[in-house]
Amino acid sequence: MEPVRFIVAGLGSWGPRWAKLISEEAGVELAAVVEPLDDRRNAVAESLGLTASQAQSDFDIALRDIEADAVLVVTPPQTHLDLASRAFAAGKPVLMEKPMASTLEDARAIVDAADVAGQLLVVSQNYRYRPPMVTLKAALERGDIGPVVAIGGNCQEDMRLFYEATNFRYLMKHPYIIDMTIHHWDLLRYLTGQDVKRVHAQSWRIPDSPYQHDPACAILLEMADGVPVHYEGCGATHRPRTSWSAWWDFTGEKGRLWTDGGVDEPHSDIVHRKLYGQDEEVLPYEPAAPYDTIGSLRAFVSAIQGGPLPAHTGRDNLKSLAVVMASVASVERGEPVEVGEFLG
């Protein structure tokens, strides 16, 4: 089978990593990169040995002139609708970095554009492919701790360690909720098999951080089956850092499952199980992709080649993004918000 050839659009924080991964992964091929900024484009082209024609500054020219089978969009969320629409019009399926869009209206428009063009749209919810999360889901599906009674989640990170001072996230409204909780709400849906019904969110400033808007939050959620979730998150924390996947705590009728560890390496989170009256144990990892983005990439490529659709298609991802937007609305209104309001 011929390799799937990708155009990678966007070479900011994550684009170069995706481009390198695609250039090294079996079954795929890096056809071209697109980036309007010369220094970024030239640096990636040099590092990966790309020719001048493979390092484009204009997306439309790349779509027209480059022989490619798919497009990977790794640009700021507010640009996703425009780039995806142009890719679909050119007959290309799209794998897109999260969040799918900065507004639910744009996200719906992207999904509709994919449907009209008859093209595949997948959002790279890569956290689903991390071995600890795969292991945690398997334990929950087995019923190790019985029916779940309550869930806790905590993600403490300091983006100043990773992003330059001019990064667009520092200017975003609701930066943590929009940029990070999409991962964790999608993980909640993946781990529990349930959608989120209601959220009640608050957020606040971190005065010594570069964020112009609130990078910290506390959010109560109610799942469709009534299970409560207490979640805390911060992108400029002064507390000890957690895993990027968040540390999860599931309380069940028969015991508890929880994760910790994995700071700076979320593929090494530790999954604990303690049944009431028995000793605590650490669960061995279930089989998983060698790296989370590889898992996401492989699922997309398999679908292009006639395999099953990934669970995280654009249409399904609207349900995760709706929780993000409901969280934003709850902060702004100062009251609980029904997620169904944002699902149309």
Structural domains of the chain, with CATH? 4-123 (3.40.50.720), 128-288+322-342 (3.30.360.10)
Instruction: Tell me what pLDDT residue 261 has.
Output: 98
* Cβ-based neighbour number of residue 195 at 10 Å: 18
Tell me, what's the pLDDT at 344? 74
pTM above 0.85, yes or no: yes
Angle at 104 between CA 206 and CA 211, to 5 degrees: 15
Q: What is the SS3 assignment for the chain?
A: CCCEEEEEECCCCCHHHHHHHHHHCCCEEEEEEECCCHHHHHHHHHHHCCCHHHEECCHHHHHHHCCCCEEEECCCHHHHHHHHHHHHHCCCCEEECCCCCCCHHHHHHHHHHHHHHCCCEEECCHHHHCHHHHHHHHHHHHCCCCCEEEEEEEEECEHHHCCCCCCHHHHCCCHHHHHCHHHHHHHHHHHHCCCEEEEEEEEECCCCCCCCCCCEEEEEEEECCCCEEEEEEECECCCCCCCCCCEEEEEECCEEEEEECCCCCHHHCEEEEEECCCCCEECCCCCCCCCHHHHHHHHHHHHHCCCCCCCCEHHHHHHHHHHHHHHHHHHHHCCCEEHHHHCC
pLDDT of amino acid 296: 96
Mean pLDDT split into 10-residue runs, the chain, 344 residues: 95 94 96 96 95 96 97 95 98 95 93 98 97 98 98 96 86 92 97 98 97 97 98 97 98 98 96 98 95 96 96 96 96 98 89
pLDDT score, position 251: 98
Cβ atoms of 172 and 249 closer than 8 Å: no
* pLDDT recorded at residue 187: 97
Residue 274, phi-psi category: left (phi > 0), alpha (psi -120 to 50), beta (remainder) = beta
Phi-psi region of 76 (alpha: psi -120 to 50; beta: other; left: phi over 0): beta
The helix-helix angle for 292-304 and 15-24 (nearest 10°) equals 60
Count the alpha carbons within 13 Å of 259 in the hemisphere toward its beta carbon: 32
Pair 120, 303: CB distance under 8 Å: yes
